[in-house]
Structure 1
Amino acid sequence: MRKAFTVILLILLTSSLGCLSSNTPTQTKTESWLEGLEKEKFHFYMFGVNTCPHCQKMKRLLPEYYGNGSLTFYELRENKKAYEFYLNFATTLKITGVPLIGIFYDNKLYAIVEGEIDPKVIPRIVKEAMKDNGVILIISSGQFIIPGNETKIIGNLTSWFKLGEQ
């Protein structure tokens, strides 16, 4: 009995010492969903309304994943200027819903999404837009890409998300 107790005690001590002496990495594990992109370089411009549950969800999730300050939200009922710019999207792209999200990386527009989107998918979309050298549209009428050489269109879309500022 005493011999069994000693063996069990040795096993417990050995396993606990193994836990204490194990090397734990000092660096934070890279978040693979970012696809090698830097979280801090993302910024989102979103048109929406405070009573929209989809808008509220995205208002919560985007900063949760990308950090405070990563989202500029325009309330369409309270901000006449934002509403006027939203109408540009409605007319040009036939946008009919909210949220309408402009996805920027390093201050460049890479995608426009109408509706909710999983925040973990966004870096993949940005990488695809970079590869295709364009702006990806994911809107109710379909999925499209605006070629990068359409600089006037992309410039207008960028300006509209920033309410007329570059």
Structure 2
Amino acid sequence: MESRSRFTAISVISFSSTVIPKACRKRTCRRSFIRTRPEPEPPGLRRSSLPSSAYLKEEEEKMAGVKLYNKTGDAKAVKIQEGIEKKFGFVPEVFQAMGRNGDFLDLAMRIAEAAGKGLDPKTKELIIIAVSAVNGCEYCLDAHRSAALAAGVTDEEISAAIEVAASISLYNNFNKAISLNSDLKSK
């Protein structure tokens, strides 16, 4: 998987928006379109001619489906986000999106910590990647692929987890579509 920065993605959208089909305007769709069909920067483009970081941040916030609260929500949310920032070095957008309501953010964090007790970090990350792939959450795939690699998971293991998830998703959807009754029961 190629490395890409937010800055590059925003630059491509800003300078080459005609590349993105009109029917493809959602944020996740734009991100995947950019990844699968990278567009070179226009000739003669210099860093000094790029929009300021404040402008890019404003454009990024417009792309989100909800307002992002980067330490601007209620007091409880700000405190939690400060802890997240210490851990990651920044506040990931998912925690900014949840940052309006500290009680909700706290509960989401506690559920994530409680889920998968007894699983080693590699297994937990592979499960998260598999579920994220089936659910189509590119943001989650990007974040947890990095976490999985840091935990020692290989690219081959990531691909295998996605293959298993895709095959089970196929069977789940097929069986739901035909309303099949289970003939395989636990003994």
Determine if the TM-score, normalized by the shorter chain, exceeds 0.5.
Answer: no
Category of TM-score, reference length = shorter chain:
under 0.3
Larger radius of gyration: 1
Bigger share in strand: 1
Q: Choose between structure 1 and 2: higher helix proportion.
A: 2
Q: What is the TM-score with the length of structure 2 in the denominator?
A: 0.24
Question: TM-score under structure 1 normalisation?
Answer: 0.27
